[in-house]
Structure 1
Amino acid sequence: MSEFITMGEPVVTFASTDADASLVDSTHYTKILGGAELNVAIGVQRLGHSTEYITQLGTDPLGKFAKKVIESHQIGTNYISFDSKHWTGHQLKQLVTHGDPETFNYRTNSAAANLSPDQFNNVDLSGIKIAHMSGIFPALSQTSRASFKKLMQELINQHIFITFDPNLRPSLWDNRKDMIKTINELAKDADIVMPGSKEGKVLIGTNNPETIANYYLKNGRRTSAVLVKIGPRGAYVKTKAGDSYIVPGFKAQHVVDTVGAGDGFAVGVISALLEHKSLKEAVTRGNAIGSLQVQTPGDNDGYPTPKELANFYHSLK
């Protein structure tokens, strides 16, 4: 029985090791496994919390590789199915030391995109305390969107706490208008919404943290807090009760790869809430893990164990 659950597409990534070179010019790659939701599951598990992950993989070598890696992280695989008719999602990814990386995706019509709602009718949510949902999975296809909505409704029915990260991936959507409408609608059912300020500019037309927070608090059906990621400055927090404040970020000593920082923020928030920490403590941990992640290669290499997190805090004293 797990404390945490998420749904997503694990992406086998052929990641460039040539820093800041374009994918055209890169000649050296390493094979890793990422995917926003899986990153969060890995981070939460690494901090000592039991996790479950819902997805579908192809029967190809990449699918078998993904399952092997997921199991190595001790993440629950009870709801991982296999599809012999569709391939496992994969991508090429640029290594960048600032900004967003260039990626080239092979995810259209993937196995995960074909995970239908009737394939996980027997998901046991008893014991689940927090579910993390992301805007990526519903972008894959109409089928995955239906599966996403089914799980969301079941979580709501069972009064399970939901965190939601918009995780905008415009290249996965048919059009920008559909992306904005769908993401903003899905956000309404989350207890905590965690957009970035740049995402706010796309979704509601402003990157002002307070305006972004006010929008999701006003329109949410159950939203109790909005955490707006504002880059190195940290995060702006506003709650339904009217509290608002900025939680400062942690300075990264050396930026290696920016990918996974936002997911690391979610890891910190979720794991701290599972440990009954205050919201401010949770956001502080989110900022800390985001900072640790950008100082390592890969999508989730910087997510700490409890001892590593304690050592990080101690090093700041």
Structure 2
Amino acid sequence: MPSMTESLDVVTYGEAMAMFVATETGPLAQVAHFTKRAAGAELNVATGLARLGFKVGWMSRVGADSFGQFVRDVLAQEGIDARCVSTDERFPTGFQLKSKNDDGSDPAIEYFRRGSAASRLSPYDFERDYVTGARHLHLSGVAPAISSTSRELAFRLAREMRAAGRSITFDPNLRPTLWSSREEMVATLNELATYADWVLPGVSEGLVLTGSDDPASIARFYLARGARGVVVKLGAQGAYYATSEGEQGVVKAQPVARVVDTVGAGDGFAVGVISALLEGRTLAQAVERGNRIGALAVQVIGDSEGLPQRAQLDALEAQDANADAA
């Protein structure tokens, strides 16, 4: 964990929940046994980047309960800086139930997060030196959806990091049920995207947010609003990318023999893109790594269990480089 004087590579914020994953297939009402893990889109990204050796800070609130302590224990195990994680004595840590599917389909998830400690996040949680001392800010559309005050914090983070000349990635990560209306969701997230250097929507999210499911049209929408680069995730077809300098292309997906759990694939993709960009690689190279880590994520049960350590990623990239050279 970074010291009090050591700057971060990446900072992000959001809600973490205890997640109970079914150990047997079938409807959640009939499942008798679960395994406890930690979940949260932004926490998944923080975890993946920390495993690759980046100094990562995660901002949030947890309750003064066993779930909150569990989240703190996970942060410590992953080496994620938790100086800006506060304990709220009034409100609980959220949790969720997740089904187990063996056919590659999306699992059923039930959330118990209303009135959670993290939903009380607000601009009062902002710590300028902590945040602007980082090289990069990652935002998703989940944290701004959990409450109006958390939404205000997202914009405060984006404005301050942009003013400080830091880079920003934004993954829309749509959660329609958390918003009062589709119109509010679209308007808010598209406004938040104007602060980002790199925007990472899925093609179905692009349809909701821009009105088009054409990857090039989605990219043009965000490039016209100031993005340096846009990556549109295409699922099994890989990803389309375009930059403000006119570069564009499609990077094929990594082959996957068997999809086990689709949840967390987008977060893994974000880990790959962000890590590569912070290492000075091109957007095309970043997309290739995003595809690779996204593919690893869907081959295991759990939101972050498939995110690789640095040695594993280096070995896979070296293996591909040697194959290309042969």
The aligned counterpart of 1:60 is 65
* Structure 2 unaligned blocks of 5 or more: 1-6
Per the TM alignment, residue 18 of structure 1 is displaced from its structure 2 partner at its CA by 2.3
Deviation track 1:127-175 (CA, whole Å, cap 9, x = no partner) reads 4221100100110011111111111111111111000000001111112
Corresponding residue SS for 1:133: strand
The aligned counterpart of 2:251 is 247
Structure 2: distance between partners of 1:102 and 1:89: 17
The aligned counterpart of 2:43 is 38
The aligned counterpart of 1:82 is 87
Corresponding residue SS for 1:242: coil
In percent, how many aligned pairs have the same letter?
A: 43
Corresponding residue SS for 1:283: helix
Corresponding residue SS for 1:76: coil
* Structure 1 unaligned blocks of 5 or more: none
Q: Which amino acid in structure 1 is aligned with residue 250 of structure 2?
A: I
Corresponding residue SS for 2:91: coil
Match of residue 14, structure 1, among 11, 14, 20: 20
Structure 2: distance between partners of 1:42 and 1:281: 21
Q: CA contact under 8 A between 1:227 and 1:235: conserved in structure 2?
A: yes
The aligned counterpart of 1:209 is 215
Q: CA contact under 8 A between 2:219 and 2:232: conserved in structure 1?
A: yes
Q: CA contact under 8 A between 2:105 and 2:261: conserved in structure 1?
A: no
The aligned counterpart of 1:108 is 114
The aligned counterpart of 2:294 is 290
Q: CA contact under 8 A between 1:79 and 1:123: conserved in structure 2?
A: no
Which of structure 1's runs of 4+ aligned residues deviate more than 3 A?
313-316
Match of residue 279, structure 2, among 256, 275, 285: 275
Structure 2: distance between partners of 1:244 and 1:315: 26
- The reply on whether 1:188 has 2:200 as its aligned counterpart is no
Structure 2: distance between partners of 1:284 and 1:314: 13
Q: CA contact under 8 A between 1:43 and 1:303: conserved in structure 2?
A: yes
Relative to structure 1, the CA distance from residue 93 to residue 217 in structure 2 (aligned partners, 3 Å threshold; closer, same or farther) is same
The aligned counterpart of 1:164 is 170
Per the TM alignment, residue 313 of structure 1 is displaced from its structure 2 partner at its CA by 3.3
- The reply on whether 1:26 has 2:31 as its aligned counterpart is yes
Structure 2: distance between partners of 1:93 and 1:247: 31
Q: CA contact under 8 A between 1:293 and 1:301: conserved in structure 2?
A: yes
Question: Is the deviation greater in 107-116 or in 32-41?
Answer: 107-116
The aligned counterpart of 1:50 is 55
Q: Which amino acid in structure 2 is aligned with residue 189 of structure 1?
A: Y
Structure 1: distance between partners of 2:216 and 2:107: 28
Please report the RMSD computed on the Cα atoms of aligned residues, expressed in angstroms: 1.4
Query: Structure 2 matches for 1:96-135, cutoff 5 A?
Result: 96=101, 97-135=103-141
- The reply on whether 1:299 has 2:303 as its aligned counterpart is yes
The aligned counterpart of 2:270 is 266
Corresponding residue SS for 1:237: strand
Question: Is the deviation greater in 95-104 or in 293-302?
Answer: 95-104
Per the TM alignment, residue 123 of structure 1 is displaced from its structure 2 partner at its CA by 4.2
Structure 2: distance between partners of 1:315 and 1:234: 20
Per the TM alignment, residue 253 of structure 1 is displaced from its structure 2 partner at its CA by 1.7
How many positions carry a matched residue from both structures?
314
Corresponding residue SS for 1:108: coil
- The reply on whether 1:71 has 2:71 as its aligned counterpart is no
Q: CA contact under 8 A between 2:132 and 2:160: conserved in structure 1?
A: no
Per the TM alignment, residue 120 of structure 1 is displaced from its structure 2 partner at its CA by 2.6
Structure 2: distance between partners of 1:5 and 1:152: 11
Structure 1: distance between partners of 2:310 and 2:74: 21
Structure 1: distance between partners of 2:278 and 2:237: 25
Question: Is the deviation greater in 286-295 or in 271-280?
Answer: 271-280
Corresponding residue SS for 2:84: strand
